[in-house]
Amino acid sequence: MIQISSDINRAATILQEGGLVAIPTETVYGLAGNIFNESAIKKIFKTKQRPLFNPLIVHVKSRKYVNEVAEYIPPKATQLADAFWPGPLTLVLKKKPIIPDLITAGKDTVALRMPDHPLTQKLLNALDFPVAAPSANPFGRISPTKAEHVANYFADELEMVLDGGPCQSGIESTIIGFDGDNPIIYRLGSISREDIEAVVGPVESITKNDTTPDAPGMLSRHYAPTTPTVLSNDVLATVMKHQGKRIGILFFKTIVPHDGIAVAKVLSPNGSEKEAASNLYAALHDLDNMNLDVIIAERLPNQGLGASINDRLLRATK
């Protein structure tokens, strides 16, 4: 039976023995295992039912450790790390041979990030190895932002969830790769494009690849409820298309009443993109557990974190 606990020593022992622990980060809960233990990494893929072609993110405890695993660090990668680490930024860098190919799906790059959560920072400092930690959910499902979400998914498969409370950022890290020294956004996330470009200037985007992704989160369908989900520019018009169904609505900031709506949730009454991102997955989990026929999500303004939220909702509807 899964244990929900804040016992760092217990979590460290499980990881040292080759087991898996769900860990809190500022973005979502991750399913962590020792990157140098092949059995543990295979267990991550098996537990999540994740395809082996989809690489994992390595979570490190310090900036210094990047030099031990990365072959080359572009100057703009250093600028981004200076600006956003620890935090919800993942850098995809040329790897040294020390990083197992299983982690990187056979690619010559590794995705690295330094999480900004006090409990997980303490855990990483108690270990003599980094951890791979993709989101602690079955592949393609809604990411978990609470310990209970993980327990609901993996009650019989995991020993422990390290309980760090609700995740503050609420959506996954922004992932940046490099073509030579030029940054490329592989995944929109908790750091907006605008914030990235304020540090390094204009960046390209390559955010979809269903066959050989360079980073997690690039597949067309991902982050999805089991309930059919629709992303809409005009919620009430979409409600009319689903008359007679039990409908749940995910509004950005204001509920628009309609007799055809069974359940309505608001991401941010104040219209804050940051608050909306923090609440997104918890709201989707709630709606997905309400026996609805369809979830209709209101599209946010496609800028700042609104673009990242729209990205998640679009992939949930594919």
Average pLDDT, the chain: 96
Q: Which amino acid is at 20?
A: L
Q: Contact at 8 Å (CB) between 181 and 199?
A: no
**C-alpha to C-alpha distances, 168 to 24, 137, 274, 278, 300, nearest whole angstrom:** 10, 18, 9, 6, 20
- Characterise 87 by phi-psi region: left (phi > 0), alpha (psi -120 to 50), beta (else): left
What would the mean pLDDT of 15-39 be, rounded to a whole number?
98
318 pLDDT exceeds 80? Answer: no
d(CA 32, CA 164): 14
pLDDT of residue 1: 81
Strands 109-113 and 30-34: unpaired
Range(s) of the chain covered by CATH 3.90.870.10: 3-205
Minimum mean pLDDT range among 87-96, 219-228, 267-276: 219-228
pLDDT digits 0-9 by tens, 137-196: 999 999 999 999 999 999 999 999 999 999 999 999 999 999 999 999 999 999 999 999
**Helix 75-84 and helix 193-200, axial crossing angle in degrees, nearest 10:** 120
If one counts every other C-beta atom within 10 angstroms of the C-beta of residue 286, the result is 14
pLDDT digits 0-9 by tens, 191-213: 999 999 999 999 999 998 998 99
Q: Contact at 8 Å (CB) between 52 and 212?
A: no
- CATH fold, domain 229-317, is Rossmann fold (3.40.50)
Q: What architecture (CATH level 2) is domain 3-205?
A: Alpha-Beta Complex (3.90)
- Would you say the C-alpha torsion 116, 118, 120, 121 has a positive or negative sign? positive
Which residues make Cβ contacts (< 8 Å) with residue 34, sequence separation at least 6? 15, 16, 18, 40, 41, 127, 129, 131
pLDDT digits 0-9 by tens, 250-279: 999 999 999 999 999 999 999 999 999 999
**Which pTM does this prediction carry?**
0.96
Range(s) of the chain covered by CATH 3.40.50.11030: 229-317
